[in-house]
Amino acid sequence: MHIDRIRIDRLTTPEEFHVCEELQRRVWGMDDIDVLPLHMMITFQRSGGLVLGAFDERDEMVGFLLGFLGAQDGGPGRLKHCSHMMGVDAAWRGRGVGRRLKLAQRDAALAQGLDLVTWTFDPLESRNAALNIGRLGGVCRTFISDLYGPMDDALNAGLSTDRFQVDWWIASDHVAHRLEGVAPSPSLDDLMAAAPPVNPAVVDDDGLVRPPDRPRALDGERILIEIPADVRTIKARDFAAARRWREQTSDLFQRAFAAGYTAVDFISERSGAAPARRSVYVLQRDFEVI
């Protein structure tokens, strides 16, 4: 199936909303109590929110996105779109479905006269960071510790639910240039030649990627913070190592944001040296979205 044949539409029928409930279960391994139910999704759709489905050539739902209206920080009267959930069936991941859903969300929010879409994601999930920060042009200067408390689903069990809040300024030149490819990201080799990550990953004798014992100081106009390219494999092989990645990067992100840095890019590329793939956030001091 080709991505160009994916159709993005608002959900309209109870049957489609039921399918969306089941897709939530498949994507996250959720228990029924954690699934956002049909009646809430219908209310979102009828009240200024948005529930989108991605459908393949057989009209089967392979992805979804949902959000609702919220208030911007900094005073009353300014609205934003709160993007609450997006999921893609495993067979379609990495093929551009998520990007198509987000672009449709951007179009809908712009049509409502909005300029900001926000959502949260796990900063250790490299695939999500590549989409949210790298390809869509979202930025982050807000870190939320243990946002949801303990969770038991397949992705979150056993780790604190630390999250980034993405600010997606959908009417900005920054976002437009990123979406149009006007301002492509530099290569990882060039970035690291100018300023190595403050926490360069190390590979142990078993090939497991671990954080360093002592990160470098946060200094300079631009810094790189490294995360594992595949944290789920680390969770499966050595949960203590995954917990150490969480603790170290959470501390670095909080200190960086407090010092005036903003996460403005994310790059994940194969490297000639170990580890074979490296993933870094690019943080810039005193950044303003234009």
Q: How many CB atoms lie within 10 A of CB 3?
A: 13
Range of the domain at 24: 3-180
Q: Do 99 and 160 share a structural domain?
A: yes
Q: Do 206 and 159 share a structural domain?
A: no
**What is the distance between the alpha carbons of residues 133 and 287, in angstroms, rounded to a whole number?**
14
**What is the distance between the alpha carbons of residues 269 and 59, in angstroms, rounded to a whole number?**
34
Q: Do 194 and 176 share a structural domain?
A: no
Q: Do 125 and 8 share a structural domain?
A: yes
Q: Do 153 and 24 share a structural domain?
A: yes
Q: Which of these three, 160, 180, 200, is where a domain ends?
A: 180
Q: Do 142 and 36 share a structural domain?
A: yes
Q: Which of these three, 180, 203, 236, is where a domain ends?
A: 180
Q: Is residue 102 part of a domain?
A: yes
Q: Do 165 and 70 share a structural domain?
A: yes
Q: Is residue 38 part of a domain?
A: yes
- Each residue's pLDDT, cut to its tens digit, for the chain (290 residues) gives 577 789 999 999 999 999 999 999 999 888 888 899 999 999 999 999 999 999 999 999 999 999 999 999 866 679 999 999 999 999 999 999 999 999 999 999 999 999 999 999 999 999 999 999 999 999 999 999 999 986 565 556 668 999 999 999 999 999 999 999 887 788 888 898 888 999 999 998 888 999 999 999 999 999 999 999 999 999 999 999 999 999 999 999 999 999 999 999 999 998 766 677 899 999 999 999 98
pTM recorded for the entire structure: 0.93
Q: Do 61 and 94 share a structural domain?
A: yes
